[in-house]
Structure 1
Amino acid sequence: MTDFMSFVDKGEFTELFEELGWDQAPRSLKPVSVQRITVGGTGEPEVTAEPVASQDGLTVWVVRSTSLPSVTLQRSVDDKVRQFSAVRLIIFTDGTHQSWRWPRSGATAATNQRLLHHHYTVGNEEQHDDLARRLAMIELKVGERIGITEIQARMAKAFNDEAVRRSQQASGHMKRMNQTLLDADVSTDSASSLLVRLLFLFFGDDTRMWPTDTFQNWVLHHTTGGNIHAKLTELFGVLCDPELDGCLVAPGEKRKGRYAGTEFEDFRRIDGLYRERVELPQLNEDFRQQVMEAGDFDWAKVNPDIFGAMFQQLVDPAQLREMGEHYTSEENIQKVIEPLFLDEYRQKFEDAYDDREALLEIQDELASLQFLDPACGCGNFLIQAYKHLRGLEFEILTRADELETSELKELITLHNSKQKKVKDITDVRRRYAELTSASIEFGDDVLRSSKLSMRQFFGIEINPWPAKVASTAMLLVDHLCNQAWGENVVRLPIEETPEIVCANALRTDWHNVVPDSFRRLYVFGNPPFVGQYTKTSEQTADMKQVWGKDYDGYLDYVTGWHAKTKDLLADRTGDFAFVTTNSITQGQPVPALFGPLYREGWDIKFAHRTFAWDSDAPGQAAVHCVIVGFTRNPLAVKKPTQRSIDQVQDAELNAAMAATVEQRLWDYALQKGVPHEVPLTTGINAYLVDGPRVLVKKANKPMSVEMIDARYGSKTADNGHLIVETTEYAVVAADPVAAKYLRPFVGSRELVRGLNRWCLWMEGADPKDISRSPLLKERVAAVREFRLNATTTGDAYKLRSTPHLFRPNPKRPSTDYLCIPSVVSETRPYFTAAQLPAETIISNAVFSVEDPTELSFALISSSMFIAWQKAVGGRMKSDLRFSNTLTWNTFPVPGLDGKTRAAIIAAGQGVRAARALHPDRSLAKAYDPNTMDSELIMAHDALDLVVDKAFGADHPLSTGRERLAILFANYMELCSRQGE
């Protein structure tokens, strides 16, 4: 560690990270220069950020200057650098002082800044040891190679560890108090209400809302284990009493009113938060001690952003699952609010940087906006939006005051030099003195100039306790924002709060929640995810109500919020964006959701393709998400229509609509990795693909004449009694009667992984055989018992009279056939299908295609098909889910001439031949992207050349994006030919 710090002290950062085992920065990265110019051409000198090291996508930049740049300039440098390094560490140094800045991760960062920063001064022993410890955490051992996810985790641990530890400690205090309350038979609602109030008091003690430790000392000196429940109830009443204001006096003045000289005189009136009465039973000394221990903790160091995750731990995970609730990390929230509105206003700030009037107009515009999270939970989205907007307003007002100061100074100089006689010079000098002296607190001055209000923020939440947490957390964030501006800024009693409505959002009229009195409304959030087969009857009823005739049964519950937002903004100006399950951009739900949105003039403003969920709570939800933001297309607004869903596939209209909306798209090389922005040529469609606005709908038969029906396999409906596993095979094969009916049995797992499984296939069996074989007799009896006890409306019960047979399947192949798995891994470079002999029975987890020419095998084995599958097919979690109606029947194969067809078939046979070189390998092993044989790769490359050309490519294709452009064009052509 000492060796590391010697490099740090000498400013030798390239050598430092080389010693840490990191790679050199890529040569493609060039130094980045940033300068802030103020009025009159004066200002901070230009600074340059140089890349000095990199590790798996995380780059270290160094900025050297004669003095450390201001926070504003440091942020500007970071904004510029992040265009080249999404994940970065920036070190600012003047030779003696250093500021290590790392983009915060999660909800544990400082409240009022976008970057974590760690200061180091050469020679400071305490800082020396602290930084040495952090550097040791990101050292790579000789030969050690890690990915971007791991290096990010190490950086977060090294530079966020203290904040994370504090958050965990805060959560621990809440959990202990909550459990004691529940053990005392306090209801969940009452316990949550009490804990929210205590949280506010803890925070007030440590953030100078009143004299430090006022509440802590009150608990210590004025309560006992026997009366703490009654004393807390009394305190809550006092905190709502206007008489308490008499105790708020200037230093040296005498306090007045009924509470002067009492145990309550040091408190401040809070009011609104405490009006509702909380019923508490007799508590005990254990609870009092837990309150005292929590009070000893420094709550000023805990970010209010984590309150939602903290309170989530107090709730039954099963209840959260039923409600579809998933808590969102700060990182994911920023993916929503930045492209939805923050980036736009930050850019406006940059554009108006030297124009005071324009800056103040931006402030007025910010004050005219409304923000709604209609599934707000504990308010994480509202907190982040408010916090960042307050920070932006602070920068605007700070810059406006800088410009005003410069203008006033220039006027005074001109007047004093008699170059110009300035009218009202006395007022000019007084204002200049205010801005440049300590005659007023700058924070107080800026706060008086602030126009942003919590009344601009609205939320809807179905559960009472998260709604209370949301309101409280917003108030605390407001207080911390105020503290960042002025040492003594406290807005008590509470006179303004966000409007958080506790209600079922899908049963509530949002027009009554958000008044139509502002300029523009932004709707955003993380609505609950509940899939097609897990919705409750009440949730299904909600969906039918909000979607009306557009509801087709396949939409995830989350899309109910799209419907309600669409209705709310029908006669208002605004945009919206939600974090959702990725199923809304896959398969059958796509036309059902995007059709009505397109029809009413909505278009995609921005999107994040599938990424793995990152919640701030332990036991976080395991889901794969997308983010899609929407805006009303100006063309649609000017020329409103009621086009049918089918008509949104009109090519001319698509081109005109896409040209009027500036879209942004992010993708992920790894689902837990870092997003990178994707350049667009055509525009983002409903499948989050750069292509025309097309909606692929199910087709009951193949749309292309080149395609053959894909049919389901056979359903057993037997509870496993007609299936023979590997461990059972020897016993069944030893039975001379049962052995006659043994047949290979293949589902998706068996096909892809090369596993052995069998079934008892007794179609056409001699009834006497069942009687002669105790094994068959026992198994058939077990099937009969299962089917007799099954639901009377289901398939199994209907088959109770033929317990020896599978469910009838008249379309079961009678010749050799192509077998297609219903699910394959997302990592497969090609879709893994295979030919099987007629005697092999397949389950309903696979499909069969009669493929005598082997054309179907060649087509499904091509890159063109897997590109189509990934774009329009459904998913099971992140794996690819095959559908005969959605991906197979719609696969837009153009008409083929005999020569082209023969070439495709021959290339497909080349793939089969390459597979046959290793007959012992399963499809899973053969198509492992890390170990595919060169012969198999070359065979697929040869197949792709032929197939791509047949589909219309005029040059060799190398990406799925290129293929999708052709596929969507071909699909639209097929639709037009069929009168769609």
Structure 2
Amino acid sequence: MTTDVMNYVDNGEFVDLFQELGWDLPPSSVHPLDVETDTGTFTVQPVADQSGLRVWVCTADTLPDASSQRAVDTAVSKHSQVRLLIFTDGTRQSWRWPRRGATAATNAKLLHHAYTVGNLEQREDLARRLAKIELPIDERIGIAEIQDRMAQAFNDEAVKRSTEASRHMERMNQILLDAGCSTDTASSLLVRLLFLFFGDDTQMWPEDTFQKWVLNHTTADNLHAKLTELFEVLCDEELDKAQTAGGMGKAGGKYAGTEYQHFRRIDGMYQEHIALPPLSEDFRQQVLTAGEFDWGKINPDIFGAMFQQLVDPAELRKHGEHYTSEDNIQKVIEPLFLDEYRQRFQDAYDDRKKLLALQDELAGLQFMDPACGSGNFLIQAYKHLRGLEYELIQRAEELELEEIQAQLAGMEHQRMSKNKKALIARRDDIQAGASLQFDEQVLRKSKLSMRQFYGIEINAWPAKVAATSMLLVDHLANQAWGENVVRLPIEDTPQIVHANALRVDWEDVIPDNGNVTYIFGNPPFLGDGREKEQLADLRYAWGEDKQISRMDYVTGWHALTLRLFASGRQGAFAYVTTNSIVQGDQTARLFGPIFEAGWRIRFAHRTFSWDSEAPGKAAVHCVIVGFDRQSEPRPRLWDYPDLKGEPVPVSVDRAINAYLVDGPNVLVTKASKPISSMVSKTMYGSKPTDGGHLIIEPDEYDDFMADPVAAKYVHQYVGARELLHNLDRWCLWLEDMEPADINRSPLLKKRIEGVREFRFASKAESTREFAQFPHLFRQRAKMETDYLCIPSVVSETRRYFTAARLPADVITSNLAFQVPDETGLQFGLISSSMFITWQKTIGGRLESRLRFGSTLTWYTFPVPELNEEARRAIIAAGKKIEAARDLHPKRSLAEHYNPLAMDPALVKAHDVLDREVDKAFGAARKLTTERQRQELLFANYFRMTSGSDG
């Protein structure tokens, strides 16, 4: 934003201000308004418009007081449901933005932002707000997005309000639980109360109808019975007779003149009977307190997160439930379908027939979240599609108006005819709609329906929240895009099924209507640690013949998605999952069937830190992968250099493979032996199973070395932690012990007896049997030559895999791997950028850390056959790395390879090694990017395994 923008504000040049911000001028059919108030008449000028959101300016000699500003806003609201009002007297300004919920529902209060010319603090604050509504050049911004931007700029109380709403729910929930309500009963009641609170504050019925009813017609003694009665009334068709259309006619029916006459029939969620226990005065007062809160200010998007707080967090973790922020949902639905339909809207922008055909197509689409939780994905999809449809209708009418005006211009001198009269009537109709901005006619022309949206949810209360939230979003959308239209009773509802998604036939949930179906969501994050019931679910989803060992629970959703589309149904799908599905050995077993069924990866977000809108957010490392069966558009890929940062687009030349790399669809499977003759077999280190009696800690070392008998058997003992952090630890290696030495050393004898007692006490029979050899490690793998010691897990921030060569007398524990490496070739290979690229690309992870796997990453490492010259060069380069490390002998491997503090000599040594390894893999020169190495690695792997089972 340029510094000149605030000069426009100071000078009262608001038309120029919004032109500078990239906004459009208002339609020519919109005229200034004269508003009569108790303090005089004020003129309000329209100065800017963006996708129907209009800016009005009221200039007066003296800044109108709050009451007059309210009166002006009320008058403007009849012409602009969504608006920004600026009041100014030349020096003082009042920027007024109506509070609203998800899609511009307006409420009684106006948010007020004061600005006085010359006030530097206010100037900085207003400049910050204006920067949020500055629009990109030559890019159309839709109604939903511009409303979101305005809310961010002028409605920064959202977090505070959401917290307050959550507290009201928490208090009521706790009282209900204390009264003996089950979680399901409490949640069902709170969902109904939420709808009634919302109705009071969003013009579903006369303001505060429910609040007044609780206050005037209930007591603590009868509250539970009265609520039950109210819920029955809200489903009674007789209630319709108590309503009059537009205030005309006479109310009738049995509820006319009763305490229920101002309610509207709801049906839907209220049809199911819930048994309420007696409720206390404390609960009644809390209902009244909650009713005083303005629920219309709350975005229904966060209701799922709000209700999540009412459930035991441990129970949520058990089911792997994670509620989803809007930003993360956008990462799924935009590349899956929204971006495409927005582009098609742009492509059809000047063709009315194509626009109307696109609207018909949108109305035929189907959307399902088969793990919908509280419906956040469905809510966002519905909200943005409604916004797109509104823009489409608006543009189609603009084009129609241009056509009519051109026809009327040609009839200017003709007599009035039936055709001319019809054209004039239609012109006036369209212009009246533009003037009203969000005319009810637009809503009547809407073809999108909540019946296009489907969900499956295993838990009862989130399913109810999902359906309720969708209804509330629909109501707010109607307010934003119509004239306070209320769709009651509830007839048009999303199809939310309460069931186990992995046990239900999805065809029964979402029948094929012959149009395109989109499946999306974030199924439970349970990993491969599953209970018996979940294992049975996974077996049911994949079928009895599928090898499901170590397959994540979430892959069951992929299996049933494939089954849903197997009959030829059109569509695409995308899921948020833990990043484990694109790492390790399950990748081939998951993506193999997907690719075989003709799917390709349409888009993907590489590993990032998953965010939730619920308190106590679960920290999970996730990926998003979307699939379709088309050749267009070009695949889209995003990377996260900072896991908690913003996505960075990555260009894709060929395709996105299962490892989220631009390359061929190569699937790497475990190998029982190295596929390359250049790679040596690994083995685990030695495992003591000793209760700690064969291990010597630093504070015990001097005692053992002071014992000449025991000292003979003390060896350095290294596991992953000791190797990486240069920690001292030793063990007693007694494989060649002289039996007589036991009696010569009380220290040795005590330790051996401790091992025997520990093993005798074991529950494992094999361990008890091995108590007869208390001086020996349970599993022994001492090396005979110098060897390579490989930690099982290293940090993902390392530029190189941190391993080291050790002499044969050092004992490696079972927490690390070891490879014979007398020459140093294995060290050179594992220390190369080529290997860590392979490890990061196809290897498994522990959270985000790199997990070494001998059968998956080491044995599959596709090292080509090396000639003697290449072998010698790699070995020599590896020795230079060891020499560079030796320059700082006190540094640990973790310190040597701190990515922010690597020694230049060590970096140079690795560069030399990379040049030799890259050349050995077939590169003409040292490679400079991960992508270049990935291309060589996958090409080599394909060549070395084609025609074999790997």
Fold in common (TM above 0.5): yes
The one-letter amino acid paired with 1:724 is: I
1:804-953 correspondence to structure 2 within 5 Å: 804-809=775-780, 811-953=781-923
Shift of 1:894: 0.8
Q: Do residues 729 (structure 1) and 701 (structure 2) align?
A: yes
The structure whose Rg is larger is 2
Match of 2:279 in 1: 283
Q: In the alignment, which residue of structure 1 is the partner of 2:50?
A: 70
The equivalent of 2:386 in structure 1 is: 390
Cα distance, 1:838 vs structure 2: 1.5
Contact 1:5 1:132 (8 Å CA) reproduced: no
For residues 366-395 of structure 1, the C-alpha deviation after alignment (integer angstroms, 9 at most, x for no partner) is 111101111111111111111111111111
Structure 1 position 631, deviation (Å) = 0.9
What do residues 392-440 of structure 1 show as CA deviations (whole Å, max 9, x unaligned)?
Answer: 111111111222222222222221244x998722221112122222799
User: Could you tell which deviates more after superposition, 248-257 or 825-834?
Assistant: 248-257
Contact 1:112/1:388 (8 A) holds in 2: no
* Residue matched to 1:697: 669
**Structure 1 residue aligned with 2:210, among 210, 215, 226?**
215
Distance (whole Å) between structure 1 residues aligned to residue 704 and residue 52 of structure 2: 77
Paired residue for 1:511? 507
How far apart are the structure 1 equivalents of 2:94 and 2:795? 45
Could you tell me which amino acid in structure 1 is paired with residue 733 of structure 2?
Answer: W
Q: Mark the CA change 1:936 to 1:461 in structure 2 (over 3 Å): closer, same or farther.
A: same
Compared CA separation, residues 890 and 203, structure 1 to 2 (3 A): same
Q: Say if 1:979 and 1:188 are closer, same or farther in 2 by CA, change over 3 A.
A: closer
SS at match of 2:157: helix
Distance in 2 (CA, whole Å) between partners of 1:710 and 1:751 is: 17
Distance between the aligned counterparts of 1:732 and 1:192, measured in 2?
64
Deviates more, 1:758-767 or 1:119-128: 119-128
Read off the aligned partner of 1:216 and give its amino acid letter.
Q
| Amino acid in structure 2 at the alignment position of 1:931 | A
- 1:486 matches 2:485: no
Query: Deviation of residue 765 (structure 1)?
Result: 3.5
Q: What is the SS of the residue equivalent to 2:548? A: coil
Following superposition, the deviation at residue 120 of structure 1 comes to 6.6
Letter of the aligned partner of 1:821 in structure 2? P
Q: Offset at 1:518?
A: 3.9
1:132 equivalent in structure 2: 125
Q: Which residue of 1 aligns with 2:577?
A: 580
- Tell me whether 1:363 sits opposite 2:359 in the alignment: yes
- More deviation, 737-746/839-848: 737-746
Distance apart, 1:775 and its partner CA: 5.0
* Pair 1:92–1:789, CA change in 2 (3 A): farther
Alignment-derived partner of residue 601 in structure 1: 598
How far off its partner does 1:768 sit?
A: 5.6
Q: For 2:411, what is the secondary structure of its paired residue?
A: helix
Secondary structure of the residue that 1:608 maps to in structure 2?
strand
Aligned-pair CA distance for 1:323: 1.0
Distance 1:902 1:217 in 2: 89
- SS of the aligned residue for 1:576 comes to strand
Unaligned runs of 5+ in 1: 14-30, 45-65, 76-90, 101-107, 139-154, 635-659
Q: Distance in 2 between matches of 1:719 and 1:604?
A: 50
Offset at residue 781 of structure 1 (A): 5.0
User: Does the aligned pair in 2 maintain the 1:68–1:93 contact within 8 Å?
Assistant: no
Question: Any conservation in 2 of the 1:903–1:946 contact (CA below 8 Å)?
Answer: yes
Q: Give how far 1:759 is off.
A: 2.4
Q: Is contact 1:304–1:477 with CA below 8 Å preserved after alignment?
A: yes
AA of the residue aligned to 1:754: N
Q: After the TM superposition, which of the residue ranges 935-944 and 423-432 deviates more from structure 2?
A: 423-432
Match of 2:941 in 1: 971
Secondary structure in 2 matching 1:179: helix
Amino acid at match of 1:180: I
The residue identity in structure 1 corresponding to 2:664 is P
Q: 257, 260, 264: which one pairs with 1:264?
A: 260
CA 1:734–1:174 in structure 2 vs 1: closer, same or farther (change >3 Å)? farther
What SS does structure 1 have at the residue aligned with 2:928?
coil
Aligned 1:161-240 pairs, distance under 5 A: 161-240=156-235
Counterpart Cα distance in 1 of 2:352 and 2:526: 49
Q: How does 1:771-782 map to 2 (within 5 A)?
A: 776=748, 779-780=751-752, 782=754
Displacement after TM superposition at 1:764 (Å): 3.7
Output the aligned Cα RMSD: 3.6
Distance 1:797 1:583, change over 3 A: farther
Kept in 2: contact 1:121–1:127 (CA 8 A) = no
SS at match of 2:439: helix
Contact persistence 1:308–1:378 (CA under 8 A): yes
Q: CA deviation at 1:816?
A: 1.8
User: Using the alignment, how far apart are the partners of 1:159 and 1:798 within structure 2?
Assistant: 74
Residue 732 (structure 2) pairs with residue 760 (structure 1): yes
Q: Does 1:802 align with 2:777?
A: no
The alpha-carbon deviation at position 683 of structure 1 amounts to: 1.5
Instruction: Measure the CA separation in 2 of the matches of 1:156 and 1:799.
Output: 70
The equivalent residue for 2:301 is 305
Counterpart residue number, 1:614: 611
| Cα 1:234/1:268, change in 2 over 3 Å | same
Preserved contact between residue 824 and residue 881 of structure 1 (Cα < 8 Å): yes
Deviations 1:245-284 (A, max 9, x none): 1111032532111111111111111111101111111111
Quick one: which of 637, 643, 649 aligns to 1:677?
649
Q: 1:614 to 1:74 in 2, by over 3 A?
A: farther
Q: Is the 8 A contact 2:791 2:816 kept in 1?
A: yes
Q: Which residue of 2 aligns with 1:61?
A: none
TM-score, scaled to structure 2: 0.85
Q: What is the rounded CA distance, in whole Å, between the counterparts of 1:134 and 1:719 in structure 2? A: 67
Structure 2, unmatched stretches of 5+, are 11-18, 31-45, 56-83, 132-149
Cα distance, 1:824 vs structure 2: 0.5
The number of aligned residues is 869
| Partner SS, residue 666 of structure 1 | strand
Spell out the pairing of 1:244-255 with structure 2 (5 A cutoff). Answer: 244-250=239-245, 251-255=247-251
Deviation at 1:812, TM superposition (A): 3.2
Q: Deviations over 1:935-979 (max 9, x none)?
A: 111111111111111111123311111111111101111113757
CA distance 1:611–1:112, shift in 2 (3 Å): farther
**Alpha-carbon distance, 1:808 to partner:** 2.3
Q: 2:324 maps to which residue?
A: 328
Change (3 A) 1:538 1:607: same
Conserved 8 A contact 1:745-1:759: yes
Tell me the CA shift for residue 597 of structure 1: 0.9
* Distance apart, 1:241 and its partner CA: 0.9
Q: Is 1:456 aligned to 2:452, yes or no?
A: yes
Counterpart secondary structure, 2:894: helix
The residue type equivalent to 2:258 in the other structure is T
Q: Which amino acid aligns with 1:528?
A: P
Task: Give the drift of 1:67.
Answer: 5.2
Separation in 1 of the partners of 2:685 and 2:442?
Answer: 71
Contact 2:93 2:116 in 1 (8 A): no
TM-score scaled by length of structure 1: 0.83
- How far has the Cα of 1:319 moved from its partner? 1.2
CA-to-partner distance for each residue in 1:64-122, whole Å, 9 max, x for gaps? xx9545246999xxxxxxxxxxxxxxx9999999999xxxxxxx984369xxx999785
Q: Cα deviations across residues 323-378 of structure 1 (Å, max 9, x unaligned)?
A: 11111111111100000000000000111111111111111001111011111111
Query: 1:715 and 1:748 mapped to 2: Cα distance?
Result: 13
Query: Do the aligned partners of residues 845 and 422 (structure 1) sit closer, same or farther apart at CA in structure 2, a change above 3 Å counting?
Result: farther
Post-superposition offset of 1:577 = 0.3
Q: Does the aligned pair in 2 maintain the 1:109–1:160 contact within 8 Å?
A: no
Evaluate the alpha carbon distance shift between residue 594 and residue 661 of structure 1 in structure 2; reply closer, same or farther with a 3 A threshold.
farther
Give yes or no for the alignment of 1:546 onto 2:548. Answer: no
Amino acid at match of 1:880: L
Separation in 2, partners of 1:553, 1:99:
64
Aligned residue identity for 2:125: A
2:521 equivalent in structure 1: 525
Q: Is the 8 A contact 1:868 1:967 kept in 2?
A: yes
